[in-house]
A and B are shown apart, each in its own frame.
Chain A
Amino acid sequence: MNAVLELEKVEYAYRRNTALRGVSLQLKPGEVVAVTGASGCGKSTLLHCAAGILTPDAGVVQVDGQDLAELPEEQRAALRRTKVGVVLQFGQLVPDLPLVDNVALPLLLGGHERGEAHQAARRWLDQVGIAEDADAVPAELSGGQTQRAAVARALITGPSVVLADEPTGSLDSRAGQELLDVLLEAARYRGAALLMVTHDNLVAASADREIRLRDGLIQHEVAL
């Protein structure tokens, strides 16, 4: 089976601080991979490179066989919108938009009609269990609810891969477990591969494979 996400010898440095020193990994469709490691080991940088948010200094990032570096900006944004879903620690929703608009955003930005996009967004909000909060703005909701909305937004376009950076990091253990269940179930429902960056051993244990980073390099990789 072809990899939906492939990173090959990816390097990245923040000025003099090298975050990644040639990391390679592959994700197959439907696979769940956890990236763990101490703070500052390069986990989030790896995820941001995979999402196309950061451009690596060296190496290749391919999504569904397409090299991100070779795509013009417009196509890269379109690829990120349709093939990659991103969930960050605090949801990072647009603060002044109601949840339904936030979740519908990838479709709206892709040129879909408002009614059609809203219909899909409401379906996804129902899927992640917050249908009744569709018209609320993020500030009116709990951290767990905004994270659920972020999961819905990440999955609404039917991406091949979902990238989650500490998705449960801002939640208590119960809300974290609930969100993790929602994320895994939704990703499986879509058949999307899931790459999660986490500090939490329980979250890592739910993955098919764990990759441990240390000082910008893969220290070890284990199937769970």
Chain B
Amino acid sequence: MFALVKLVFLSPLSRVARRAAPIILLSALAAALAPSVSAQPKDAPSKRLEAIRAEMDKGQGLFVAGNYAGAAEVFEAGYAAYPYSAFLFNAGVCYQKQNDVDRALAKFREYIKVDPNAPDRDKVNQRIATLEAAKAAAVVPALGEAGSTGDAGAQAPVALPTGDDQTSMKSLVVIETEPDGAPLRIYQRVDPTAQFTLGAANPGFKEVASTNAPANLTLDVGQYHVVVEKFRDFNASEADMTVSPGHVHQLKANLSQGKFMAFLRVSSSVMGAHIWIDDKKKERSLWGNTPHGELVPGGKHDVLVEAPGFEPLLSSVELEHGQQKELEVRLERLGYGVLRVDATAPVVSVRVDDLPKGVWRTGTEPLDIRFDAGEHRLTVEADGRKTFRGKVVVPRGQILPLHVKMIPKYPRGPAWTQAIIGAAFLGASIYAGVESNRLYDEVKKDRENGNLESGDERATRGKWLAGGADAGFVIAGVLGGLATYNFIKDPLPESSLTEDKLLEFEDPLKTRPVARLAPQQALRQDVAAVERAPRLELMPSASTTGGGLFLGGKF
């Protein structure tokens, strides 16, 4: 089934030339509201309407099936939950069908009471009078019979009108405008051949209600014409409406400000990119997120498309009245990216290309480093940890999360100990060697001069010193070797880097791009060339008398 779920009419297109000639974009409402109503922005009212509709449909179904008691019960419950007068009237009809005149009268009277300005007030009062008359007529014969039989007070059966069928059910009509508060006039077509002309006498129509939007009306089945009168600087609008029995109808009017409109649709290689129209400085709220289409006035427009991580793109588009145009843009990534660094050490300092870029501490947010896209040298240092040095590729317009695993430095205590002891041995050995050489020279001199004793203490001391020096040199050498080895030895792995999945830039508007699309043509001027088969279709419509937007779908 093809269901029209929303009416948006924007008229007139030309205040000057064709102000009195409204364009009716949609004149019929669905007998049942489809789930696609959820396309409306306000969710809660939609659900409420859906519930009302369900109650109304249920009661209508029971009524058609002849279960008047059940239908009356449903309508009574519907009114209790949603106090719309249509429920009262329909309940009264159900009681009437059951010849329960009192309860029927009660419901009709309550209907008049809660909705004294009901368009069908006269008809309902007439129905009340008829029922009262029928009830009175039934009492008189009963009194006569009672006098003869002595059974005074007995009531004769009431003979109520029985012409009510399912078309007798009243429907609930909800009329809203954007913005709210617009004055409404609802005319019922009394002459099936009459055409409504705004501002004319329109003898074929009868005004049944005059109120302000939003309005909840209980209307009989029939043809109606809804007029939204000029409101503030908004133009007047109008639409035909057919009211089915026992249903809920919703009518919403987006008011235009009175120019001829064109339709612009903007899409980009980045889903959800933000669009501003004629607002380079982004001082107003955004126009929409790609893909997005909307009526716009004809003429030249500046279209600014932005997405986090991409270079903003400013395009200029020229629209003629009633023209549809699709603008497809391909956003390019930014020339820089962000490295988001954290580590396994309490405090780390980060350098990129040897330039200090900050310090990250455990418990804080990762350190974001903005840098030109491309390959760079990354250095991460921490006390007591091995310095990480490596290369990273900074993405274009994206965030690269980096987790640096900082490995503790291998303890060099033994190496230092060996080095120090070795140095001490070396120093002592040098001293002992020098001293030994000095003694040797002395002893040798004495030897050469013939004065050296066989047991010269210096020779003994020099010998010990020489031995000690040699031993010390060997020990120092061994310790030096061990120290060198232990300085070099490192069984622990090097600090390492783990790259996480690339992240997109934070969206300040909290609507993030959802996917990257394949590159497309930057700009297509020929709207006809664009063929799509969306499930939800937004169709603009324009004529010499105005423009509007038609939204429909297949379910």
A binds B: no
Q: Which residues of B approach A to under 8 Å, CB–CB?
A: none
Q: Which residues of A approach B to under 8 Å, CB–CB?
A: none
